Amino acid sequence: MKSGSTRVLAAASGGGHWEQLMLLRATLDNYDIRFATTEPAVAAQHGIESADRLPDCNQNKPLQSALCGLVALWIVLKHRPQVVISTGAAPGFFCILAGRLIGARTLWIDSVANGEQLSLCGKLSQRWAHECWTQWEHLSSNARPRYFGAVL
Amino acid sequence: MILVTVGMQLGFDRLIAAMDALAPTLGLPVIAQTGKGRYAPQHMDAQAKIAPAEFERLVQQSRLIVSHAGIGTVLTAARFAKPIILVPRRAALGEHRNDHQLATVNQLSGRPGILVAMDEAALPARIAEGLAVKDWSAVQSSTARQLHRALAAFIENRPL
């Protein structure tokens, strides 16, 4: 609440990734928060009318991924967030990469669904995001990923 | 209404058959998403697949969810603050490729709104507990509190 003016971009694909972002909303809503998702209709169901649309993509679709990367960059340039966070998946990771380009601080929270190992984007985020957190204590280490609790 | 789900991708006939046997004793209608199972329920309103929007509506209307230990269902139950009973799929019984659902229930057991039935024999007791759960939407687990605190610290650029 103290830092209500901090501009934050929160990005997640539709489905479970988005559900996890919504479970963090009580905290996110304390800031100047903008959302990006692959399913703006689902965001609207949560009362978020202004979410930016990210094209869906994954590592098997290079053209879609390139397009997603460009859209992520456009969204980041539009909002100029000081902080970018994502709960997954690939489209959220592109927002984190784009955030780095403009000097935002970036946080990847790996999905609580990944209890066996970090997701591919989670592994990439260990290198490319400022912080990479797992929601499973047994997957954490002193270096990366770190563990600070879970949405559940 | 009690909603039973084993997801859409795999069957989990052990859970479906157990819930079908219990259904007449529960005093509530039971709706089931049976996935790719073979067992044909007699006492539940069963569908192999329920579309996501319809599923969400059913979750909202339900008093209790009985589910395989799939994180997607746990998250949906959490969003609508519905109590959920998790039954882990077992690799030894051919119910999944490995025992990760066992790890999931061990980690989630005891968090607000989440009950665990390690096998079908434990279901009647857990269902009674689940139906007795009062609204827990305001209850935050200690792990969730921890994550919210860390997230705020990160956003405000304070030490984690």
Query: Omega before A55 cis (within 30°)?
Result: no
A7 contact B CB<8A: no
Tell me, yes or no, whether A152 lies in a domain: no
Q: Which domain holds residue A79?
A: 7-147
Using the beta-carbon criterion (under 8 Å), do B148 and A30 form an inter-chain contact?
A: no
Q: What are phi and psi of B137, to 5 degrees?
A: -60, -30
Answer whether residue B134 shows pLDDT above 80: no
C-alpha–C-alpha distance, residues A20 and B93, integer Å:
31
A102 contact B CB<8A: no
Answer whether residue A134 shows pLDDT above 80: yes
Tell me, yes or no, whether B65 lies in a domain: yes
Q: Which domain holds residue B41?
A: 2-134
Q: For residue A2, what pLDDT band results from cuts at 50, 70 and 90?
A: very low
Using the beta-carbon criterion (under 8 Å), do A112 and B75 form an inter-chain contact?
A: yes
Average pLDDT for A111-119: 92
Q: Which of A60-64, B57-61, B118-122 has the lowest mean pLDDT?
A: A60-64
C-alpha–C-alpha distance, residues A40 and A35, integer Å:
9
Number of domains chain A contains: 1
Q: What are phi and psi of B91, to 5 degrees?
A: -60, -40
Using the beta-carbon criterion (under 8 Å), do A115 and B146 form an inter-chain contact?
A: no
Tell me, yes or no, whether B141 lies in a domain: no
Instruction: Find the CATH number of the domain harbouring A118.
Output: 3.40.50.2000
Tell me, yes or no, whether B157 lies in a domain: no
- What are the distances in angstroms from CA B99 to CA A85, B86, B88? 31, 14, 8
Comparing CB atoms, the residue among A22, A107, A150 nearest residue B143 is A150
Average pLDDT for B124-131: 97
Tell me, yes or no, whether B149 lies in a domain: no
Residue in chain A lying closest to B157 (CA) = A105
Pairing between β-strand B30-33 and β-strand B2-5 as defined by DSSP bridges: parallel
Instruction: Find the CATH number of the domain harbouring B21.
Output: 3.40.50.2000
Number of domains chain B contains: 1
Considering only CB atoms, which chain B residues are within 8 Å of A111?
A: 71
Average pLDDT for A13-41: 94
Tell me, yes or no, whether A104 lies in a domain: yes
Tell me, yes or no, whether A2 lies in a domain: no
A108 contact B CB<8A: no
Answer whether residue A12 shows pLDDT above 90: yes
Tell me, yes or no, whether B155 lies in a domain: no
Comparing CB atoms, the residue among B144, B151, B160 nearest residue A152 is B144
Q: For residue A4, what pLDDT band results from cuts at 50, 70 and 90?
A: low
What's the token pair of residue A30? 């304390």
Chosen for mutation from A3, A18, A152 (greatest number of chain B CBs closer than 10 Å) is A152
A86 contact B CB<8A: no
Q: For residue B116, what pLDDT band results from cuts at 50, 70 and 90?
A: very high
Q: For residue B94, what pLDDT band results from cuts at 50, 70 and 90?
A: very high
Average pLDDT for B19-28: 98
Q: Which position has the higher pLDDT, B9 or A95?
A: A95
Strands (E), A13-92: 32-37, 52-53, 83-88
Average pLDDT for B66-73: 93
A85 contact B CB<8A: yes
Using the beta-carbon criterion (under 8 Å), do A27 and B142 form an inter-chain contact?
A: no
Answer whether residue B137 shows pLDDT above 80: no
ipTM of the complex: 0.96
Tell me, yes or no, whether B140 lies in a domain: no
Average pLDDT for B26-50: 96
Chosen for mutation from A7, A96, A133, A148 (greatest number of chain B CBs closer than 10 Å) is A148
Q: What is the pTM of this model?
A: 0.87
CA distance, residue A127 to nearest chain B CA (Å): 17
Average pLDDT for B9-35: 97
Mean pLDDT of all residues belonging to chain B: 94
A22 contact B CB<8A: yes
Tell me, yes or no, whether B150 lies in a domain: no
